[in-house]
Amino acid sequence: MRARVHGDRGWGIARVVFLALLTLFTLLPMVWMLLTSMKTQFAASQYPPEWWPRNVTFEQYFILLSPANETGREFLRYMFNSLWVSFATTVLSVMVAVPAAYAFSRFRFPGRNLLFYSVLLRNMFPAVVFLMPLFILMRWLHLVNTELSLILTYLTFGLPLSIWLLKGFYDNIPAQLEQAARIDGATRFQAFIQIVMPLSSPGIIATAIYSFILAWNEYVYALTFLNDKSKLTLPVGLQRFFTEYTTNWPGLMAASFITSVPVVVLFLVLQKYFVRALTEGAVKA
Amino acid sequence: MATFDEFGGLSSLGRRRLLGAAAAVGMAASMPGAARAATAPAGLDTSNWTPEYIASIAGTMEIDTAAECAKVVPLNTKGRVTYWYVGPNQASPQIDHRIDAEFWAAFAKTYPNITVEKQNLDYNQMLNKVRTAALGNAAPMVAKFPILWGVEFAAKGQLMPLKPEDVGFGSDEFWPGALKSVMWNGKSYGIPTNNETMGLIWNAALFQAAGLDPEKPPATWDDLVLYSKAIKDKTGKNGYGLVARTNAGNTPFRFMPQLWAYGGGALDEAEARPGYKSVYLNNAGSKAALQASFDMYVRDRSVPVSALTNTQNENQDPFISGQLGMMISHPSEYAFMLDRASKATGDDKKTAEMVVANMRYGLVPKGPARRAIVFGGSNAHVFDAKVVDGKLDMEAARALLAFSTGPEWSTKIAWTNSNPGNLRGFRTKWMKERLETIKFLNVTTSMLPSGIPFPVIPESGEIMNIIVPDMLQNALTKKMSVAAAADDAARKVKALLTSL
Amino acid sequence: MSVSTAAREPNVFARIVRHRADYLYIAPALGVMLLVIGYPIYDTIYLSFFNTPPSLAMADKIFVGTDNYVRILTSEAFLDVTINTLIWTAFSTFFAFALGLGAALALDRQFVGRGLLRGILLIPYVISAVAAAYIWRWLYHSDFGVIGALAVASGITDRPINFLDNVDTSLPSLIVVNVWKEFSFAMIMMLAGLQTVPEQLHRAAQVDGAGVFQRFWHITMPHLKGVTLVTVLLLLVANLNSFTIPWIMTAGGPAGSSDIWITAIYQLAFERIRFGVASAYSVILFVVMMSMGYFYVRALTGKDEATPG
């Protein structure tokens, strides 16, 4: 990032105040989530609330993460399912988006623009509207109650942005590099694999994070397509935790926290790729 | 806990017929004897259905489930059955988990060659799931539903005709009211598994602190409004656990009793011979009941403000931590609270044990018209072959039904929260054990004569889960006046019934 | 870049044949899209012409022509829900964008901990909407909520504020949650956009004595036009489609005060099992979305011309 020359002191102060307030707005809800998760269920249903838990307990975390009890086993199961579905979606997304984006960027086949924008229009369709027809479709494909039904659906959520992001990236990679490789005897495909792929890795990583987060957090389809308790993913599991297991607010908050950790960590570690992909790919174009 | 109202629901029987035919448990004094003189199912004397009578017959009959089942489906039958039900969950008392496990172990022992693929679903999601599944031809072979639900699927032709005789029982072994709840167009589509009613539970310590008689529940709904206000004013805690969320089964289960007590209703379901044609939602009784809720929520602010977004689940923590005075609840609530108290630690344990010691069960209040509660329970159904996922294995399905709706397991499965659907269950030693170990079981059981079934029409779900809660919300948020909210709801029900 | 390149080609068929290998690259993406989108669109439009009352099986549905559309468009509830949807979409988008832009401008310089701060601000965006909805439902809780209790403790009100069980505040309360959840998406987009603003222009303008505002308006903003358009459109679409937060927090209530199109459609389809009407409702929503999609595509194509390199 470039340092930028900026003026007045007043603006500097305003900037700091604004950022401080924004950070509080962002963090305070999560602080309360953490504090609540460390209370007992009794302490959580008090008015006025205990501002600071009097008896700090990690009971909810033990229950959720210990394979020794039923809740823990279930929760870990959901987490594993979420990991699996998100991972599979991510891998497939990259495998599908990379060649498509490359083709849209490099090739001049008839219908290219039309197809490109049709893909982007996927975002226009509300997920809820497709629940029933997709369920019937999945049933027809014998995929109801399988993780594959989710993976297939999630794939289409992430594709538009992924393809768009990657296409911007490929647009920025000079075609001469490939031409040079091809003169050296590489096929078009080899040139793509050996030259273009490595150069676009930030875009691919960004695409991967994006797909992973989408899949990790999706709720409505997971709710509709899966019945088998042993196949549920975390967001649905979270809701079960609330509706079924009494209103265990500390437990729910602990579960929310645990659910959030993987994506937050992943994103914090890899965010620079995401920003870079947006900057060099999509936005700059 | 997964509030067992969900197991409640509708039976087509009018209240009088229900009373007369079967369920007049206790309450002998309050009911004219003539109304109850009727058939004697399974050789039981229902005209004398008092807690004492129930206690006297319990443990008088030996049951050999395997032998009974063998007569219906040979025990060496090979097969596969898929089964969906609302089973015990994390919030259920430990004993429910144990019994569920025992049930499946016993079934596997009785029918070693039948594999069961079971789905224990969350009540709040089950209805939507079953609808979706049936539409997509992905339904299970057998399912156990709250009795409000079956008629919709029967009307759509998605259920197989099914009656007790199909699995070796006589129709006289079940409450006629429950049997009516599986009827559609004169045909039977299910077998009752369990039936129950709820009672009022309260925290005697909060009553005491509010200057109320700690041992007596409010006698009428008008009193309940006053009690709720007294608790709020004197202790700062919420009085009555009102719930008014839409599409959460618990709302109608707690509000309809109030409506019926004042002489109201959704349709004429509280009448002796309901025709389910006339709309009662905006009659004087319904409006009085709505006004009483309005008084508690808006005028007195004596109930949880979060009632509009809450389900009954959200009343349990406040109750056990001593923040809520009264609620309408199942007998299992006691077992559940006891469980919770035993798991609590430190100061919480003291609070919880205090609340458990101060927990009291009583009859749900009366109103000017009657004392009423929802007649609840569940039925088992078999889905039509064309909507079932895979090939319907009728023999395996019948084996599971014969086993689970018999006297032994319909008693055991209902352990903490209900009563056996099969009336012979009342004679078993397990019933005796339940009566001896489950505190307050006799109180909620004695509400059975006041049980009123929801209307047995496919539109019942929409009326009870959407239109009625909407009416409550419109009034309690002051979006509409009480009268206007009632009229609006009545108009919607009329439109619904005439639309097709 | 022009959409009609292919059309101008004299022999399209020959070109398609010549480029046949190219299609292999996009075939997987298109295949998945067609399967998972093509069929549902067809099915939704088809069903929208039928009445499917709860007492009838789907096979017995009744053809009613455009009846469902007429009924929806003339119903009073549709107007209420539409107004809610407009409020929800417009305010969510506006505030998410404004906060996001502000954050991007504030972060657009080097300082210690910048990356960490950007990461922290992005947390709400990456956590699941289900978790976010429950966290806020708990913060707002009318009886035990911390916000209400804080308001009382600090003397602002004398009783806990009723956020979600109140027809006047439920929708605004949900909008706050939504803004919390997605402002950092706008932030990261705008942050990326800001990187494309040439530094020299800023310096030159500063030398010429231009103030912060002038520089922002005359130098930064013109460069951000394309990315702004795309960001706003993506936010609009996301907000029109957002289901999880409103559904888990209030399910459209109380008394319909936070009911928006999506929750209304879900309720019609899955709680009142009126697939016909729900489908018609969905088609109406499609039409709105497609017209926004038109602008979306225009924004994407236009951007290529507007921002060189």
For A113-131, how does the pLDDT look when each residue is reduced to its tens digit (9 = 90+)?
878 877 777 777 777 778 8
When pLDDT is averaged across residues B321-343 and rounded to a whole number, the result is: 85
Q: Which residues of A touch C244 (CB under 8 A)?
A: 219-220
- The neighbouring-strand residues paired with B178 are none
Mean of pLDDT over chain B: 85
- What's the pLDDT score for residue B3? 33
Contact B122 A43 (CB under 8 A): no
For A72-100, the DSSP string reads: HHHHHHHHHHHHHHHHHHHHHHHHHHHHH
> Residue B66 pLDDT more than 90?
yes
Nearest Cα residue to C281 out of C255, C256, C262: C262
Chain B residues within an 8 Å CB radius of C160: 305
Structure tokens at B383: 């889905």
If you count them, how many residues does chain B have? 500
Amino acid, res. B448? L
Q: With bands split at pLDDT 50, 70 and 90, how would you rate the model's confidence at C158?
A: confident
Give the per-residue pLDDT at B72.
93
Instruction: Tell me what pLDDT residue A35 has.
Output: 95
Per-residue pLDDT band at B430 (split at 50, 70, 90): very high
- Among residues B144, B301, B185, the alpha carbon closest in space to that of B237 is found at B301
Report pLDDT for B385: 93
Residue B26 has pLDDT above 90, yes or no: no
B238: three-class secondary structure by DSSP: strand
Q: Is the pLDDT confidence value at B473 over 60? A: yes
Cβ <8 Å between C19 and A272: no
* Lowest-pLDDT choice from A132-136, B38-42, B121-125, C17-21: B38-42
Taking an 8 Å cut-off on Cβ atoms, the answer to whether A217 and C129 are in contact is: yes
pLDDT tens, C127-143?
A: 999 999 999 999 999 88
DSSP letters, C24-59, are: HHHHHHHHHHIIIIIHHHHHHHHHTTEE--TTS-GG
Which residues of chain B have a Cβ shorter than 8 Å from any chain A Cβ? 1-2, 84, 89-91, 97, 119-125, 128-129, 132-133, 135-138, 311, 313-314, 316-318, 320-321, 323, 344-348, 351-352, 389
* pLDDT score, position A81: 94
Share of chain A above pLDDT 70, in %: 93
Q: Is the pLDDT of residue B178 over 80?
A: yes
Residue A185 has pLDDT above 80, yes or no: yes
Asked if the Cβ–Cβ distance from B462 to C54 is below 8 Å, we say yes
Nearest CA distance, B151 vs chain A (angstrom): 22
d(CA B25, CA B18): 11
Query: Which residue of chain A comes nearest to B2, CA vs CA?
Result: A244
To probe the interface with A, which of B1, B126, B132 has the most A CB atoms within 10 Å? B132
Check pLDDT > 80 for residue B22.
no
Contact A244/B89, CB-based, under 8 Å? Answer: yes
Spacing of C-alpha C104 from chain mean position? 20
Please answer yes or no on whether A144 and B389 come within 8 Å at the CB atom: yes
Q: Which residue did the predictor score with more confidence, C61 or B446?
A: C61
Of C105, C139, C262, the CB nearest to A29: C139
For B341-392, the pLDDT digits (tens) are 888 877 788 888 888 899 998 889 999 999 999 988 999 999 999 899 889 9
The residues facing B159 across adjacent strands are B383
- Are B309 and C51 within 8 A, CB to CB? no
Report the percent of chain B where pLDDT is more than 70. 89
Tell whether A17 lies on the interface with C, counting CB pairs under 8 A: no
CATH of domain A59-283: 1.10.3720.10
d(CA C297, CA C293): 6
* More reliable by pLDDT, A97 or B52: A97
Give the amino acid at B247: N
Domain boundaries, chain C: 69-306
Predicted confidence band of residue A59 (pLDDT cuts 50, 70, 90): confident
Lowest mean pLDDT among A44-58, B16-30, B421-435: B16-30
Could you tell me what percent of chain B has a pLDDT over 90? 51
Query: Is the pLDDT confidence value at B232 over 90?
Result: yes
Chain A: nearest CA to C167, how far in angstroms? 23
pLDDT band at residue C9 using 50, 70 and 90 as cut-offs: low
pLDDT of C294 reads 78
Q: Which of A118, A267, A283 lies nearest to residue C193, judging by beta carbons?
A: A283
Query: Considering only alpha carbons, which residue of chain C is nearest residue B184?
Result: C55
Chain C contact residues (CB < 8 Å to B): 51, 53-58, 62, 137, 141-144, 160, 162, 164-167, 249-257, 267, 270-273
Q: Is the pLDDT of residue B4 over 70?
A: no
- When pLDDT is averaged across residues C200-229 and rounded to a whole number, the result is 80
Contacts of residue C268 in chain B, CB cutoff 8 Å?
none
Contacts of C16 in chain A (CB under 8 A): 109-111
Residues of chain B contacting C253 with CB distance shorter than 8 Å: 245-246, 308-309, 473
Chains touching A, CB cut-off 8 Å, 3+ pairs: B, C
How many residue pairs bridge chain B and chain C with CB atoms within 8 Å of each other? 93
Residue B267 has pLDDT above 60, yes or no: yes
Domains of chain B, CATH where assigned: 4-197+375-442 (3.40.190.10), 199-372+459-499 (3.40.190.10)
pLDDT of residue C2: 41
Rounded to a whole number of angstroms, the distance from the CA of A246 to the nearest CA of chain C is: 14
Q: Which of A214-218, B50-54, C215-219 has the highest mean pLDDT?
A: A214-218
Helix axes B250-261, B284-294, angle to 10 degrees: 120
- The more confidently predicted of residues A285 and B225 is B225
Question: pLDDT band at B25, cuts 50/70/90?
Answer: very low
| CB contacts, 8 Å: C137 with chain B | 309
User: Lowest mean pLDDT: which of A168-172, B63-67, B204-208, C174-178?
Assistant: A168-172
List the single range of B20-34, B36-50, C171-185 with lowest mean pLDDT: B20-34
Chain B residues within 8 A of A40 when measuring between CB atoms: 344-346, 348
pTM of the model: 0.86
- What confidence score (pLDDT) does residue C186 get? 93
Query: What value does the mean pLDDT take over residues B251-276?
Result: 92
Q: Which residue from B339, B31, B334, B52 is spatially nearest to B199, judged by alpha carbons?
A: B334
Task: Say yes or no: A279 contacts chain C, CB-CB below 8 A.
Answer: yes
Quick one: residue C175, left, alpha or beta (phi over 0 = left, psi -120 to 50 = alpha)?
A: alpha
The whole-angstrom separation of Cα C268 and Cα C81 is: 13
Q: CA–CA separation, B277 vs B494, rounded Å?
A: 9
Checking ipTM against 0.90, whether it exceeds it is: no
Closest by CA position to A114, among listed C16, C189, C41, C240: C16
Comparing CB atoms, the residue among A45, A227, A243 nearest residue B313 is A243
Q: Give B114-155 pLDDT, tens digit per residue.
A: 999 998 887 777 888 888 888 878 899 999 998 878 998 998
> Which of A128, A197, A264, A284 should we substitute to test contact with C (largest number of C Cβ atoms within 10 Å)?
A128
- Which residues of chain C neighbour A219 with C-beta distances below 8 Å? 128-130, 244
Q: Cα(first)–Cα(last) distance of chain A, in Å?
A: 18
Distance CA B351, CA B321 (A): 6
Dump pLDDT digits (tens) for A220-240.
899 888 877 788 899 988 877
Contact at CB, B474 and C255, closer than 8 angstroms: yes
Nearest Cα residue to A63 out of B93, B343, B123: B343
Q: Which residue has the higher pLDDT, B317 or B78?
A: B78
Highest mean pLDDT among A201-210, B256-265, B322-331: B256-265
Minimum-distance CB partner of B306 among C165, C251, C271? C165
Q: Where are the domains positioned within chain A?
A: 59-283
Is the CATH number of domain C69-306 1.10.3720.10?
Answer: yes
> Which H or E element spans position B188?
strand B187-188
What is the nearest CA distance from A60 to chain B, expressed in angstroms? 13
Name the DSSP letter for residue B365.
P
Average pLDDT along chain C:
84
Asked if A58 is an interface residue toward chain C (Cβ–Cβ < 8 A), one would say no
Judged against a pLDDT cut of 50, whether residue B2 lies above it is answered with: no
pLDDT at B40 over 70: no
Q: What are residue C56's phi and psi, to 5 degrees? A: -120, 145
| Res C10 pLDDT > 70 | no
Q: Quickly state the pLDDT bin for B41 (edges 50, 70, 90).
A: low
- Which residues in chain A have Cβ-Cβ distances shorter than 8 Å to C105? 15
Q: Which residues of A touch B351 (CB under 8 A)?
A: 42
pLDDT at C167: 93
The residue of chain C nearest to residue A280, with distances taken between CA atoms, is C192
Contact yes or no for A122 and C37 at CB 8 A: yes
C-alpha angle B251-B128-B286 in degrees, rounded to nearest 5: 25
d(Cα A184, Cα B18) in Å, to the nearest integer? 90
Calculate how close chain A gets to B421, using CA atoms only, in Å. 25
Whether B480 has a pLDDT exceeding 60, the answer reads yes
| Beta-carbon separation of C55 and B155 below 8 A | yes
